[in-house]
Amino acid sequence: MKSKAIIAGLDEAGRGAVIGPMVIAGVSVTGSGLKKIKALGVRDSKELAPKRREKLAKQIEKIAKDILIVKVGPCKIDNYKKEGINLNRLEAIKFAEILNYLNPHLAYIDSPENNTQRFEKMLSKMTNVNFIAEHYADKKYPIVSAASILAKVERDKEMAKIRKKYGVRGSGYPSDTETIAWMREYLKEHK
């Protein structure tokens, strides 16, 4: 691969959360930048401690040719849903925005669907950028791991602001008993 070729990775953090935004990150690098990303030892953000993610995010930012981070809050997600746009389609829309901005020669995307062909078909109607969408791409492609880290670090920052303002406990996901307990208490107090 020529070092002038631009490669991008895209991933999200916060999909399905009841508190805090879904954050989608795209990062692009040249071929030489891709080697540097690999050398960092990046991997799926869920496998890394918060401090390690933050350190890696700073290093990724230095290596990247370009980065675009898009945040979609729960109310906005609900509005899309009212318009008949489900989470997979919403992700495709936001991935297309990022792809069109980064305009790489090739992008690797962590598909939210097991049926990657269906997702690729939907996304290909929104962009002319060449891409490969795979389920769990964040575990397979370092450039997608880099995007995963950037998205997770940004979501963590957003959650820290929300915690400070509202005293939220837990991760913000509906599967988290601490989040649900906090929501019940909050709603009871603010009826």
**C-beta of residue 27 within 8 angstroms of C-beta of residue 66:** yes
Q: By C-alpha distance, which of 85, 68, 147, 73 is closest to 122?
A: 85
In a domain, 188, yes or no: no
Tell me, what CATH number does 109's domain have?
Answer: 3.30.420.10
Amino acid identity, residue 164? K
In a domain, 191, yes or no: no
Split at pLDDT 50, 70, 90, the class of 3 is low
3-state secondary structure of 41: coil
User: Would you say residue 32 has pLDDT above 70?
Assistant: yes
pLDDT tens digit sequence for 145-166: 999 999 999 999 999 999 999 9
Split at pLDDT 50, 70, 90, the class of 45 is confident
Rounded CA-CA distance 168/162 in Å is 7
Name which of 20-24, 31-35, 146-150 the model is least confident about: 31-35
Which domain does 110 fall in, by range?
A: 6-163
Structure tokens belonging to residue 95: 């991935």
In a domain, 15, yes or no: yes
In the chain, which ranges are continuous DSSP H helix? 31-40, 50-63, 74-82, 87-102, 116-124, 137-140, 142-166, 177-189
User: Would you say residue 187 has pLDDT above 60?
Assistant: yes
User: Would you say residue 40 has pLDDT above 80?
Assistant: yes
User: What's the structural domain count of the chain?
Assistant: 1
